[in-house]
């Protein structure tokens, strides 16, 4: 596919989407399945638009109690204007294969929720099939103790990112087993992210899931706390195991302002990201994540994310390795079916030890000592209660010291990508 044809096709998609959004906004008449307009809401109580889904639209309607099944299918396409020969969009990018249709997630959740009041037992199991399995694997389960591949091939695989039981109620509970990390802003599950592509902080800065135990406590309507002991980053059974502490405190105000701070600290293997192999040292790694959400108006929201990671003896020269950065998001809700979003991020890989976690055939391995930046613009369109479409344009660039550049198979320090995906809920 030529660059001109790729850009033209994507621009037609974006233009058509924008026209449809404008018509819906102008007429306040939305397609079937969309919720009613809330343009009359006050600017101080930022609780709308409501993007909740109607259970009746799902293949497995949700129940108030008992065991529930639900999930989604996420598939899409990312076009890379550079058209790299390897078909990889530089270092791993979540949607890392260019100019081909991808099944990212065939996701199934089986769960029993805890009661609102009183005491009870619940639990949940998640199963993921697709190209996104890559960051949902655990060492000692989907991967071997050393971190090497186990049962999954390179591109499509199966992972079980969550499998836990919990005791208590929805205000106070003890969670035991395998669960997603409370660190960071973006996550594995496609519907939880505004953009199809992923931030660098999601890919390279922190953990994805843990094995261990965690207490979740809602102190009151505004404050909540989570505290736990886990077996480090993404690991059930490593060559050496050690308990790590994880904790998070979150505030959600009545006007829509919210903020959270999370920290994870414990021993991890020093790893050179460009090789994706552990070294012999098993030293402390600490990561924190600070988030702030500000509703600027009823329809406009700003999210700020700052994070930092440090690994003792993790630098290539034997010193402490650092990685840190800032992500910024801006969302504008046109109506209950259409939402605009922008993301600008800065990722600093101070010692060239983080960026470069790749599938085996990805040639963009680094090390890359320097600063990564990306700017993404996108739309979320919900024409039905159980369908979401996400067109996006994204630009990446690198400024730093590297033997070869990180994009276009080492030939360029920047790249432009155009993508679109659809999530069908069931």
**pLDDT score, position 63:** 59
| Domain at 12, CATH number | 2.40.160
Pseudo-torsion of CA 168, 170, 172, 178, nearest 10°? 70
Residue 168 has pLDDT above 60, yes or no: yes
Q: How many domains does the chain have?
A: 1
- Please compute the mean of the pLDDT values over residues 147-154 and round it to a whole number: 88
pLDDT digits (tens, 9 = 90+) for 55-108: 445 566 665 557 899 999 999 999 999 999 999 999 987 788 888 999 999 999
Residue 403 has pLDDT above 90, yes or no: no
Residue 146 has pLDDT above 90, yes or no: no
* pLDDT tier, 280 (very low <50, low <70, confident <90, very high otherwise): low
* pLDDT tier, 359 (very low <50, low <70, confident <90, very high otherwise): confident
Residue 375 has pLDDT above 50, yes or no: yes
Structural domain includes residue 310: yes
**pLDDT score, position 58:** 54
* pLDDT-above-90 percentage for the chain: 68
Among 98-112, 160-174, 261-275, the range scoring the smallest mean pLDDT is 261-275
Structural domain includes residue 116: no
Structural domain includes residue 31: yes
Residue 3 has pLDDT above 80, yes or no: no
**pLDDT score, position 279:** 54
Residue 181 has pLDDT above 80, yes or no: yes
C-alpha dist (Å) from residue 31 to 4, 41, 292, 343 = 33, 21, 33, 28
Burial zone of 392 (CB within 10 Å; 0-12 exposed, 13-18 middle, 19+ buried)? buried
Among 6-10, 132-136, 410-414, the range scoring the smallest mean pLDDT is 6-10
Question: 61 vs 253, which has greater pLDDT?
Answer: 253
Find, among 239, 238, 219, the residue nearest to 230 by Cα.
238
Residue 177 burial (CB count, 10 A): 17
Which residue intervals of 181-238 are DSSP H helices? 200
DSSP E strands: which ranges in 153-276?
157-168, 172-180, 209-218, 223-230, 244-252, 258-272
Structural domain includes residue 26: yes
Residue 291 has pLDDT above 50, yes or no: yes
Residue 260 has pLDDT above 50, yes or no: yes
Residue 150 has pLDDT above 80, yes or no: yes
Q: Which residues pair with 407 in a beta bridge?
A: 412
Tokens of 108: 């199934």
Beta carbons of 126 and 161 less than 8 angstroms apart:
yes
Structural domain includes residue 156: no
Residue 250 has pLDDT above 60, yes or no: yes
Tokens of 5: 């044809």
Which H or E element spans position 15?
helix 3-27
Structural domain includes residue 170: no
What is the C-alpha radius of gyration for the chain, rounded to an integer number of angstroms? 21
Which H or E element spans position 11?
helix 3-27
**pLDDT score, position 50:** 45
Average pLDDT across the chain, whole number: 85
**pLDDT score, position 60:** 62
Residue 315 has pLDDT above 70, yes or no: yes
Chain mean position to CA 423: 15
Query: Which domain does 367 fall in, by range?
Result: 3-57+81-92+193-421
Structural domain includes residue 374: yes
Return the sign of the alpha-carbon dihedral for residues 360, 366, 371, 377.
negative
Question: pTM, whole model, 2 decimals?
Answer: 0.85
Q: Cα–Cα distance between 90 and 362 in angstroms, integer?
A: 8
Highest-scoring range by mean pLDDT, 43-57, 89-103, 378-392 = 378-392
**pLDDT score, position 358:** 79
**pLDDT score, position 30:** 33
**pLDDT score, position 360:** 84
* pLDDT tier, 314 (very low <50, low <70, confident <90, very high otherwise): confident
* pLDDT-above-70 percentage for the chain: 82
**pLDDT score, position 53:** 40
Question: 134 vs 50, which has greater pLDDT?
Answer: 134
Structural domain includes residue 256: yes
**pLDDT score, position 163:** 98
Instruction: Give the list of residues 6+ apart from residue 50 with CB closer than 8 angstroms, or none.
Output: 35, 38, 336
Contacts 24+ apart (CB under 8 A), 357-360: 357/91, 357/92, 357/203, 357/204, 357/273, 357/276, 358/88, 358/91, 358/92, 358/96, 358/276, 359/88, 359/92, 359/96, 359/134, 359/154, 359/155, 360/149, 360/154
């Amino acid at each position: 596919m030529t660059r001109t044809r790729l850009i033209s096709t994507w621009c037609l998609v974006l233009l058509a989407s924008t026209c449809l959004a404008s018509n819906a906004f102008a007429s306040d008449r939305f397609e079937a399945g969309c919720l009613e307009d809330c343009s009359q809401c006050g600017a101080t109580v930022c609780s709308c638009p409501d993007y909740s889904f109607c259970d009746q639209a799902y293949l497995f309607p949700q129940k108030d109690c008992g065991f529930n099944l639900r999930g989604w299918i996420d598939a899409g396409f990312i076009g890379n204007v550079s058209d790299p020969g390897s078909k990889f969009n530089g270092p791993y990018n979540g949607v890392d294969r260019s100019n081909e249709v991808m099944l990212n997630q065939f996701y199934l959740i089986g769960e029993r929720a805890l009661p609102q009041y009183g005491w009870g037992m619940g639990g949940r199991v998640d199963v993921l099939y697709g190209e996104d399995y890559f960051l949902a694997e655990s060492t000692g389960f989907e991967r071997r103790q050393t971190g090497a591949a186990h049962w999954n091939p390179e591109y499509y695989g199966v992972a079980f990112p969550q499998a836990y039981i919990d005791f208590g109620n929805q205000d106070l509970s003890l969670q035991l087993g395998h669960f997603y990390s409370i660190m960071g802003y973006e996550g594995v599950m496609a519907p939880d992210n505004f953009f199809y592509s992923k931030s660098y902080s999601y890919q390279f800065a922190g953990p994805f899931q843990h094995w261990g135990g965690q207490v979740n406590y809602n102190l009151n309507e505004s404050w909540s706390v989570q505290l736990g002991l886990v077996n480090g980053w993404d690991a059930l059974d490593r060559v050496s195991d050690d308990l790590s502490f994880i904790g998070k405190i979150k505030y959600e105000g009545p006007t829509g302002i919210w903020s959270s701070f999370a920290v994870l600290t414990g021993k991890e293997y020093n790893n050179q990201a460009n090789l994706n192999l552990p070294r012999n040292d098993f030293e402390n790694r600490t990561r924190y994540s600070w988030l702030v959400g500000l509703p600027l108006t009823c329809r406009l929201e700003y999210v700020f994310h700052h994070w930092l990671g440090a690994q003792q003896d993790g630098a290539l020269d034997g010193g402490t390795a650092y990685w840190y950065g800032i992500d910024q998001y801006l969302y504008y809700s046109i109506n209950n079916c259409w939402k605009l979003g922008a993301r600008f991020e800065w990722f600093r890989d101070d010692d060239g030890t983080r960026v470069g976690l790749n599938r085996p055939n990805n040639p963009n391995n680094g090390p890359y000592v320097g600063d990564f930046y990306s700017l993404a613009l996108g739309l979320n369109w919900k024409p039905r209660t159980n369908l979401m479409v996400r067109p996006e344009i994204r630009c990446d660039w690198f400024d730093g010291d590297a033997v070869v550049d990180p994009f276009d198979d080492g030939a360029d320090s920047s790249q432009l990508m155009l993508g679109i995906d659809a999530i069908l809920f069931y």
